[in-house]
A and B are shown apart, each in its own frame.
Chain A
Amino acid sequence: MQWAVVSAAFLASAVEFVEAFTIVLVVGVTINWRSSLLGAFLAAATLAVIVATLGVALVQFVPIEILRLVVGVILILFGLKWLKKAVLRYSGLKSLHDEEAIYEEKQAELRARGEQKSPRIDTFGVLLSYKSVLLEGLEVAFIVITFGSSAANNVCSSSCGISSAAIGAAIAGILVIALGALVRAPLTKIPENTLKFVVGVMLTSFGTFWAGEGLGINWPLADVFILALVAIYLLTSFVLVMWLRRTPAQIANRKGVPAESVEEEVLQ
């Protein structure tokens, strides 16, 4: 068991599970639980097939160095995407991702379509739930396969790494579902942006480390260097948030004036 992989996969997967569960909840509350859960179970079955196929193919046939490079690059892309959004939200240039707003928006959409609660299976509800769970689940599968395969080393084989990542993802899934079942409301209490920010930093750090290893870079202190990368990216993100809060666009947001007038003020 690799605890670093378990915790990284846990955090990354938790974000995806929260997003998927919000949609399943909307369909369940607005249409009916039968359609919502059927869509979710169908998506889970599809995902199981995809993960089984891709997992075996990746572990059996792809050389570890090339795999590390490819998944490292993918993790950097994923990580930078999430980090960028989180930094923009913290700096105030983008509104905070609000699960409650998404919930209300989806409910309004469904009401506008004239959807009524009914006990029979609803195709639209099944598809909506299926699509959301499949999309978010694919991201979880991606995280599990990439984290697990790339974490392989002398002590732990590829399948051992995948098992560790799968355990992290499974714990996240169980916790999110249990939490959702307990509160029976959108998961607005979890500060999603904080979670996305931490995951963005972790994905970028792991991606940098693995892509570097795949390219032949010898990191000082071996795996411990991941912690140094996390610290570097956290510090950078903090500096970037501070910088963005001083940009003309953000100052204009706060003052309620056009950005151009702030730019002129700064130039003068």
Chain B
Amino acid sequence: MKVIKAIYNFLVGDMIILIGVLVLVGVLLLIENVSALAVIRPVSGVIMVVAIIAIVTATLAREAYSKER
């Protein structure tokens, strides 16, 4: 458990960023590999950039509006 926590802290140390990026990669994998979703493939790059901006905004909002601050 300590090893996993150390790796987590070394790599990212923020649950919103970690979960957000993993979910984003999962969604993009679906878009690129499921034929029914082929229509939105041309905009997958836009989806990726917008999602990353949303992730960083979400984690900063948590910091700014945290009750502990």
Contacts and interface: CB of A to CB of B under 8 A. Distances in A.
Most chain B CB within a 10 A radius of its CB, from A73, A80, A208, A220: A80
A145 to B, nearest CB: 14
Contacts of B63: 84, 88, 93-94
Nearest to A215: B28
A77 B21 contact: yes
Judged by DSSP, the binding face of B is helix
Interface residues of B, number: 27
Contacts of B60: 84, 87-88, 240, 244
A232 B56 CA distance: 13
Contact of A73 (B13, B21, B57): B21
A246 to B, nearest CB: 10
Interface in B10-57: 11-14, 17-18, 21, 25, 28-29, 32, 44-45, 48-49, 52-53, 55-57
Interface in A78-124: 78, 80-81, 83-84, 87-88, 91, 93-94
Contact of A80 (B21, B49, B64, B69): B21
A107 B60 CA distance: 33
B14 to A, nearest CB: 6
Judged by DSSP, the binding face of A is helix
Contacts of A244: 60, 64
Contact of A229 (B11, B12, B14, B49): B49
Contacts of A77: 11-12, 17-18, 21
A233 B48 CA distance: 13
A74 B11 contact: yes
Interface of A: 69, 73-74, 76-78, 80-81, 83-84, 87-88, 91, 93-94, 204, 208, 211-212, 215-220, 229, 232-233, 236, 240, 244, 247-250, 259
